[in-house]
Amino acid sequence: MESGKGQVILRCAVPVPLRRLFDYLPPTGTSPTDLCPGQRFWVPFGGRKLVAVLVNIVAKSPLAQLKSAFQQIDIEPLLPTSSQTFLHWAADYYQAPIGELYTAALPVALRQGKPQSHWAQQWLELTVEGKGLPFNALARAPKQQKLLQHLFQHGRQNRKQLSAQGLGSAVSRALCARGLAQWQGGATAPPDMSATQEQAPPKTLNTEQQQALTAIKLNGFSAILLEGTTGSGKTEVFLQLIAGVLENGKQALLLVPEIGLTPQTLRRIKARFPSRYIAALHSGLATNERARAWLSAAKGVADIIVGTRSAILTPLPRLGLIVVDEEHDASFKQQDGVRYSARDLALVLGRNSAVPVLLGSATPSLESLHNALSGRYQHLRLRKRAGNARPPQISLIGTMGQQLIEGFSPQVLDQIGLSLRRSEQVLVFINRRGFAPALACDDCGWLANCPHCSSKLTLHRRQHQLRCHHCDYRRAHIDRCPQCHSRAISALGAGTERSEELLSRRFGAFPILRVDRDTTSSKRALDQLLQRARSGEPCLLLGTQMLAKGHHLPQITLVVIQDADSGLFSPDFRAPERTGQLLEQVAGRAGRGELPGRVLVQSRYPQHPLLQLLLNKGYSAFARQLLRERELTQLPPLWAMALVRAECEQPQRAEGFLAAARQYLQTLAPSSPKLQYLGPVPALLERKSGRFRFYVQITAERRPLLQQLLMHFCQWAETKKTRQLRWAVDMDAQDLS
């Protein structure tokens, strides 16, 4: 039986991993006129109390017995309908539980049901008439003059700031009555911005930059790939484009890969737009800060939003432009929960909101490059470095058969010394943190493995620990082999910590700045290290891929890539693409200022055709070659690909589950020249945190077919008893580990 007619029923998204909505009656005493989609409610769910978001108000429910929601949280909807539509689209595309998309979209404090009024603030600011007065006006009303002058000097002020100055509500009332000031505010208040900051002026664009800027139209949707060599002035183009957007009274969203990049980019944006409200949205923020920034974006108060992946899910009522910086970066794809790609969603949001989407990179992903080459995206290129900087000169150093010193060729060490003594800066790139990536017994061959993962433990010598970089298992360092009790234990290979020791011994007279996840765990540590490098003193920067990402350090003249080979022989078909991007990006740190740059690349296989192509012809030619290979092998981006994953402590259960899934899917859509199944096969990291991981890979010429199959799989899997077994679907999977 269905519930009675003429009822008001709340159809809600609830934060549970189920692919459906849930119906509730409104809280008792609610007037239907108070209800609006996008509001939050406290609702009962399986004995718990959860925060649900109202999606639709309906008159009928398929359920006979509906529970009442406990309480309405928002009066003003938290999410506009356009955002909700977008979230539902994404849930369909990624076959994800809709509640999980709402969870991903909302900052923690709002997910937990805090009222919006928690961040509400009011501030007093001068009106146009007020701003037009001379500084010493109102001399006959000294209190009012003091307030006027205070607002002149400090910009908008809230009640607390005013009362700290002895300026109470009577004096502000008086100023408001004269029409010289007014209270403003709402869900969130812009930060206090004094009017005295100076603007870093825009640069005069070179011809290529100017052409790119003029080619990008701000009205209506367009997708643009801006492929510009490292240091070619892409960011400058973004900034000038954003200036145009702000003049039109719109918001600009800038997506950046990682928190590490944000401080520098933020500083540059703040310097260019000192009088604008810039909201940063990333996971490094405290809960309250994050909610405030989110609300300022969602309520249209913030002008520029700089954020990492999840910022794409934030409502932006005045959106005018989306820029995805370093669009190739893997961090735009979420690797657990809802496995969405912020870059791909940016294009959907841009189309929905009729605004341009600009993807920028020196090393575009094959996906974006393919779209650009096939004419789906506008393709703009910056081939020259901006200003006076020239492209770096790159040399391959063959290391096979050489006597290496802790992984370095003597010739490379000499070059590092020469550069430092010329008072220049050197960057050494090593893509492994810790002291050594493996520990072995010389007598019996025992290897220190993680007890929970199919991986080796990394030695962190300073902490006297062995650690697993996949599950964070830690144990004390050992000095005896647990198998044969020999003391002949060797640390194999070199990570950043070991290289730091060697380089300090050699070049102790110069500061060695090590940048990896171990040295930058605190929020500001990376920025401080980079700040030091920016000061320009001769120093040696040593670090992992954190150093590859977009940093502009004009004093670096020499870049050393200690080992170019790790990605050349990986079973992951994307490994060559990633290696190419990484090498090009690291190399791109050299010679960004007045001094010319050099790059030394160590490799055991300097004749490897991919390395040769990359270093002689550049990333663009390299990427086009990889695209041709992907076409022949029927892989993305030419074909669409999805993974169906499962993991379990008992490997045969995960594997069996996937084998049954594949069989089921093949009855719906058999393998054909346009549809292929692979697996179940073990993931590249077969065991992680005690669970064995498998996947079935499905590739199809057309994406919609793949999506249908994923939908059928989810429906099938939701009916199975899968206790202790976890399954997931990964549309457009980026990572086979």
Q: State the minimum distance, in angstroms, from the CB of residue 618 to ligand ADP.
A: 15
Task: Specify the residue, 263 or 606, whose C-beta has the smaller distance to ligand ADP.
Answer: 263
3-state secondary structure of 326: coil
453 binds, among ligand ADP, Zn ion, none (CB under 5 to 8 A by kind): Zn ion
211 binds ligand ADP (CB under 6 A): no
* Sole window of 181-189, 218-226, 369-377, 482-490 interacting with Zn ion (rule: CB under 5 A): 482-490
120 binds, among Zn ion, ligand ADP, none (CB under 5 to 8 A by kind): none
C-alpha to C-alpha distance for 575 and 572, rounded to whole angstroms: 5
Task: Specify the residue, 111 or 433, whose C-beta has the smaller distance to Zn ion.
Answer: 433
Residues of this chain, 34-93, that bind ligand ADP according to CB under 6 A? none
234 binds ligand ADP (CB under 6 A): yes
Task: Specify the residue, 29 or 482, whose C-beta has the smaller distance to Zn ion.
Answer: 482
* Sole window of 198-206, 270-278, 293-301, 489-497 interacting with ligand ADP (rule: CB under 6 A): 198-206
- In the chain, the amino acid numbered 606 is P
C-alpha to C-alpha distance for 455 and 448, rounded to whole angstroms: 9
471 binds Zn ion (CB under 5 A): yes
In which element (H, E) is residue 57 found?
strand 48-58
Name 148's Cβ contacts closer than 8 Å, sequence gap at least 6.
126, 130, 133, 137, 138, 175, 180, 181
C-alpha to C-alpha distance for 502 and 410, rounded to whole angstroms: 12
27 binds ligand ADP (CB under 6 A): no
The tokens describing 196, both together, are 């005295």
441 binds, among ligand ADP, Zn ion, none (CB under 5 to 8 A by kind): Zn ion
Among 12, 104, 212, 468, indicate the residue that binds Zn ion (CB under 5 A).
Answer: 468
Q: State the minimum distance, in angstroms, from the CB of residue 508 to ligand ADP.
A: 31
383 binds ligand ADP (CB under 6 A): no
- In the chain, the amino acid numbered 150 is H
Q: State the minimum distance, in angstroms, from the CB of residue 457 to Zn ion.
A: 8
C-alpha to C-alpha distance for 354 and 360, rounded to whole angstroms: 19
Taking the CA atoms of residue 479, residue 483, residue 485 and residue 487 in that order, the dihedral angle to the nearest 10 degrees is: -40
Taking the CA atoms of residue 359, residue 361, residue 363 and residue 368 in that order, the dihedral angle to the nearest 10 degrees is: 0
The tokens describing 231, both together, are 């240091």
Which segments of 579-674 are extended strands (E)?
Answer: 598-603, 640-648
- The 8-class DSSP code of residue 456 comes to B
* Sole window of 202-210, 512-520, 601-609, 693-701 interacting with ligand ADP (rule: CB under 6 A): 202-210
* Sole window of 205-213, 272-280, 403-411, 710-718 interacting with ligand ADP (rule: CB under 6 A): 205-213
Q: Per-residue contact track with Zn ion, 392 to 431, x per CB under 5 A?
A: ----------------------------------------
* Sole window of 335-343, 396-404, 420-428, 453-461 interacting with Zn ion (rule: CB under 5 A): 453-461
| Helix, strand, coil share (%) of the chain residues, nearest 5 | 35, 25, 40
Task: Specify the residue, 434 or 636, whose C-beta has the smaller distance to Zn ion.
Answer: 434
* Sole window of 29-37, 370-378, 444-452, 725-733 interacting with Zn ion (rule: CB under 5 A): 444-452
Q: 405 forms bridges with which residues in the sheet? A: 408
CA distances 440 to 186, 410, 480, 536, Å, are: 62, 26, 10, 41
C-alpha to C-alpha distance for 165 and 720, rounded to whole angstroms: 66
> 428 and 408 in contact (C-beta within 8 Å)?
no
465 binds Zn ion (CB under 5 A): no
Task: Specify the residue, 289 or 735, whose C-beta has the smaller distance to Zn ion.
Answer: 735
81 binds Zn ion (CB under 5 A): no
Selection from 119, 103, 99, 79 nearest residue 315 by Cα? 79
364 binds ligand ADP (CB under 6 A): no
203 binds ligand ADP (CB under 6 A): yes
Q: State the minimum distance, in angstroms, from the CB of residue 425 to ligand ADP.
A: 15
User: Which phi and psi angles does 665 have, rounded to 5°?
Assistant: -65, -35
Name 101's Cβ contacts closer than 8 Å, sequence gap at least 6.
13, 87, 88, 90, 91, 313, 338
* Sole window of 8-16, 125-133, 468-476, 660-668 interacting with Zn ion (rule: CB under 5 A): 468-476
Name 343's Cβ contacts closer than 8 Å, sequence gap at least 6.
255, 324, 327, 332, 333, 359, 365, 368
481 binds, among ligand ADP, Zn ion, none (CB under 5 to 8 A by kind): Zn ion
Q: State the minimum distance, in angstroms, from the CB of residue 268 to ligand ADP.
A: 8
C-alpha to C-alpha distance for 237 and 218, rounded to whole angstroms: 13
* Sole window of 197-205, 311-319, 416-424, 699-707 interacting with ligand ADP (rule: CB under 6 A): 197-205
Q: State the minimum distance, in angstroms, from the CB of residue 650 to ligand ADP.
A: 49
205 binds ligand ADP (CB under 6 A): yes
C-alpha to C-alpha distance for 34 and 76, rounded to whole angstroms: 9
Q: With helix as H, strand as E and coil as C, how does 538-588 read?
A: CCEEEECHHHHCCCCCCCEEEEEECCCCCCCCCCCCCHHHHHHHHHHHHHC
* Sole window of 142-150, 231-239, 485-493, 713-721 interacting with ligand ADP (rule: CB under 6 A): 231-239
Selection from 194, 223, 190 nearest residue 345 by Cα? 223
Q: State the minimum distance, in angstroms, from the CB of residue 593 to ligand ADP.
A: 8
Q: State the minimum distance, in angstroms, from the CB of residue 297 to ligand ADP.
A: 23
581 binds ligand ADP (CB under 6 A): no
- In the chain, the amino acid numbered 225 is L
Among 164, 418, 484, 621, indicate the residue that binds Zn ion (CB under 5 A).
Answer: 484
The tokens describing 264, both together, are 């520098």
236 binds ligand ADP (CB under 6 A): yes
Task: Specify the residue, 453 or 623, whose C-beta has the smaller distance to Zn ion.
Answer: 453
232 binds ligand ADP (CB under 6 A): yes
80 binds, among Zn ion, ligand ADP, none (CB under 5 to 8 A by kind): none
205 binds, among ligand ADP, Zn ion, none (CB under 5 to 8 A by kind): ligand ADP
230 binds ligand ADP (CB under 6 A): yes
Task: Specify the residue, 274 or 387, whose C-beta has the smaller distance to ligand ADP.
Answer: 387
Name the residues that contact Zn ion, by CB under 5 A: 441, 443-444, 446, 450, 452-453, 468, 470-471, 473, 481, 483-484, 486
Name the residues that contact ligand ADP, by CB under 6 A: 203-206, 209, 228, 230-236, 386-387, 552
